[in-house]
């Protein structure tokens, strides 16, 4: 059902409504200052102030505190059968913001789990699909770690070759300088190649797997 609003409103609710909707820090200060009174409000008023407070926490980047309260919004929307709140799917939106908070706290596994559930709910949502890809890229993979380790090793080897070239080859064995230079350049180029190849392959695997997952969900919903 849609969110129902009564005609009667308490004093604390009316004071809250005077705050601009984008004045996030002011909303937070008001809620925390009047929390005891807010907790005693009728559900409709309490829920609206809670949603505004939780959204404000997210908007200012208080992600840990946001995570501690967003489940209350989600659970209340379920228990009170609120599907639409001010024209939006409150359950879906708050799950998305919960995933974003986990992501911003570098909790990629938790974010990834929520995003997969959102795709199961709506496999057409390109924003969620794109966010899941971004999350998996940030999380990394064994392939990417190996590629980076090899490239770092090659860059260190290049540095060692430069030291040998400068300290020994050019002063004492000039006739071998061109060969050493070629080895140095080749080692450095190989390091760049391994690094770029690992990153591109990592991205390609993510694209394939996430798109495949979304397509599978779409297919299952049709059958």
Residue 110 located in a structural domain = no
Exposed, middle or buried, 2 (CB in 10 Å: 0-12/13-18/19+)?
exposed
Q: How many CB atoms lie within 10 A of CB 116?
A: 17
Domain closes at, from 89, 105, 121: 105
**Do 87 and 169 have their domain in common?**
no
- Write down the pLDDT at residue 113: 96
Task: Say which residue, 4 or 163, is predicted with more confidence.
Answer: 163
- What's the domain range around 201? 142-222
Q: Distance between the two ends of the chain, CA-based, in angstroms?
A: 27
**Do 26 and 89 have their domain in common?**
yes
**Do 41 and 94 have their domain in common?**
yes
Residue 129 located in a structural domain = no
Residue 53 located in a structural domain = yes
Beta-ladder partners of 89: 84
Domain closes at, from 76, 105, 134: 105
Q: List, for residues 6-42, the tens digit of each pLDDT value.
A: 556 788 999 999 999 899 999 999 999 999 999 999 9
Q: Count up the domains in the chain and report the number.
A: 2
Residue 168 located in a structural domain = yes
**Do 15 and 97 have their domain in common?**
yes
Beta strands in the chain (DSSP E): 84-85, 88-89
Choose the weakest-confidence range: 26-30, 123-127, 142-146, 150-154.
Answer: 142-146
Instruction: Say how far apart CA 40 and CA 32 lie, in whole Å.
Output: 14
Residue 2 located in a structural domain = no
pTM of the full predicted structure? Answer: 0.83
Residue 162 located in a structural domain = yes
Residue 64 located in a structural domain = yes
**Do 93 and 146 have their domain in common?**
no
Got the DSSP string for 127-181? HHHHHHHHHHHHH--HHHHHHHHHHHHHHHHHHHHHHHIIIIIHHH-GGGHHHHH
Instruction: Say how far apart CA 217 and CA 210 lie, in whole Å.
Output: 11
pLDDT band at 1; cut points 50, 70, 90: very low
Q: Percent of the chain scored above 70 by pLDDT?
A: 96
**Do 152 and 96 have their domain in common?**
no
Residue 198 located in a structural domain = yes
- Write down the pLDDT at residue 7: 58
Mean pLDDT of 114-120: 96
Domain closes at, from 80, 105, 130: 105
């Amino acid at each position: 059902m849609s969110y129902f609003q009564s005609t009667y409103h308490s004093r604390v609710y009316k004071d809250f409504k005077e705050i601009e909707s984008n004045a996030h820090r002011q909303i937070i200060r008001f809620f925390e200052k009047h929390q005891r009174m807010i907790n005693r409000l009728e559900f409709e008023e309490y829920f609206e102030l809670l949603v505004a407070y939780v959204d404000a926490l997210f908007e200012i980047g208080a992600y840990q505190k946001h995570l501690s309260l967003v489940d209350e919004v989600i659970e209340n929307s379920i228990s009170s059968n609120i599907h639409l709140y001010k024209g939006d799917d409150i359950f879906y939106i708050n799950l998305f913001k919960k995933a974003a908070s986990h992501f911003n706290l570098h909790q990629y596994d938790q974010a990834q789990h929520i995003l997969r559930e959102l795709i199961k709910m709506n496999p057409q949502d390109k924003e969620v699909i794109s966010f899941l890809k971004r999350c998996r890229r940030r999380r990394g993979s064994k392939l990417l770690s190996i590629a980076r380790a090899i490239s770092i090793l090659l860059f260190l080897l290049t540095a060692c070759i430069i030291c040998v070239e400068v300290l020994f080859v050019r002063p004492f064995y000039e006739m071998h300088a061109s060969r050493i230079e070629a080895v140095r350049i080749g080692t450095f180029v190989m390091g760049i190649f391994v690094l770029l190849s690992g990153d591109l392959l990592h991205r390609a695997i993510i694209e394939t797997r996430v798109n495949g997952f979304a397509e599978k969900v779409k297919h299952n919903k049709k059958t």
